[in-house]
Amino acid sequence: MQRLPEIRARLQSLADLDGVVRALRAISAARVQQAHAVLDSIRRYTTVVQDALADAAENLSPSRDPTAASDDRGYVVVFGSERGFVGAFNGRLLEAGAAQMRPHDVLLVVGSRALLAASERHETVSWSCAMASQVGGIDEVALRVAEGLARAGATLSAATMTLVYSRNVGGKSQVVSETVVPFDTRPPERERRSRPSAISNVAHGPLLDGLVTELLFAKLAHAAAESFASENAARLAAMESASDNIAGKLEELRRTESEVRQEDITMELLEIVTGAEAVARGLNRQ
């Protein structure tokens, strides 16, 4: 049987752990909301750049295509988590990334925990960097990934460039594999509203190069923001599950504490009664 001091010590430890879990849950929930607010802005910006590229591409000369492939290698960027308590989050992303890899393709990994998971899977990672730990670091991550791609030899004329990240939809994570290179510079099938033609004071070639580069940055930022939101959503779910588990164990321990305390009281009463009876028998003998 457990002793009462031991049970109370375990109760205190679980209560302390519950406080930590609740704090992590609150932080994760706040970061999910912050990420979704940023995502709205990134999506709008990406749409603006895509529309500008489509408008510019309408006047594209057949001999001038900034997205024409000259590199037969592919580049796969997996956006994973920076910290733990995310369950199988990184494993699913790396599995999806491996499915996109061809012989001689290059793998890049974002996130310290994702890199550790890749090492455990014996994946060959050519370059890696830390994932954003705050929503304000998402742009910096996008810039680092762009630099990492350049160091790995990637250009906008690569055969393929695929971003693998997780998107949280309706509280559930969905792994997305998005091919961003080669870019589709054809005008999209969209409503052709009556509006004036775009006016640019920049030469057509530099304009296209700039728009393609800007669109790549927007895509990288979007993938990083989606992954940041999903990472924290996964951690939020893990903390909610842990909190429920701790609550169950606390309730069980409190019941045990009550039972042990009652048994201790009963034993004390028995000892008092037994002692009183012994005293009474001694007095009767006298």
Residue bearing tokens 């054809």? 186
Domain that holds residue 42: 25-186+203-239
68-118 pLDDT, tens digit per residue, is 555 678 999 999 999 999 999 999 999 999 999 999 899 999 999 999 999
Q: What is the largest CA-CA distance in the chain?
A: 124
Domain contains 157: yes
pLDDT at 275: 73
Q: What is the DSSP string of 210-261?
A: HHHHHHHHHHHHHHHHHHHHHHHHHHHHHHHHHHHHHHHHHHHHHHHHHHHH
pLDDT at 56: 79
Domain contains 87: yes
* Distances from the Cα of 265 to the Cα of 7, 11, 273, 279, angstroms: 16, 20, 12, 21
Q: What gap in Å lies between CA 160 and CA 157, rounded to an integer?
A: 8
pLDDT at 62: 47
Domain contains 12: no
Q: Six-digit token pair at 129? A: 């960097």
Domain contains 232: yes
Domain count within the chain: 1
Looking at residue 171, what DSSP letter applies? T
Does the global pTM surpass 0.85?
Answer: no
Residue 162 sits in a domain whose CATH number is 3.40.1380.10
pLDDT at 68: 56
Domain contains 107: yes
- At 63, the pLDDT band (50, 70, 90 cuts) reads very low
Q: What gap in Å lies between CA 48 and CA 193, rounded to an integer?
A: 15
| Average per-residue pLDDT for the chain | 86
121-158 pLDDT, tens digit per residue, is 999 999 999 999 999 999 999 999 999 999 988 887 77
Q: What gap in Å lies between CA 70 and CA 162, rounded to an integer?
A: 17
- At 266, the pLDDT band (50, 70, 90 cuts) reads confident
- Which amino acid is residue 109, in one-letter code? V
pLDDT at 261: 84
Residue 274, classified by CB atoms within 10 Å of its CB into exposed (0-12), middle (13-18) or buried (19+), is: exposed
Q: What gap in Å lies between CA 128 and CA 148, rounded to an integer?
A: 8
Domain contains 150: yes
3-state helix, strand, coil in the chain (%, to 5): 60, 15, 25
Residue bearing tokens 């730990």? 133
In 3D space, the residue among 123, 95, 99, 86 whose CA is nearest the CA of residue 227 turns out to be 86
- Which amino acid is residue 249, in one-letter code? K
pLDDT at 67: 53
* Distances from the Cα of 57 to the Cα of 26, 71, 214, 216, angstroms: 46, 22, 15, 16
Domain contains 251: no
Which residue intervals of 65-182 are DSSP H helices? Answer: 89-100, 112-120, 138-151
Domain contains 246: no
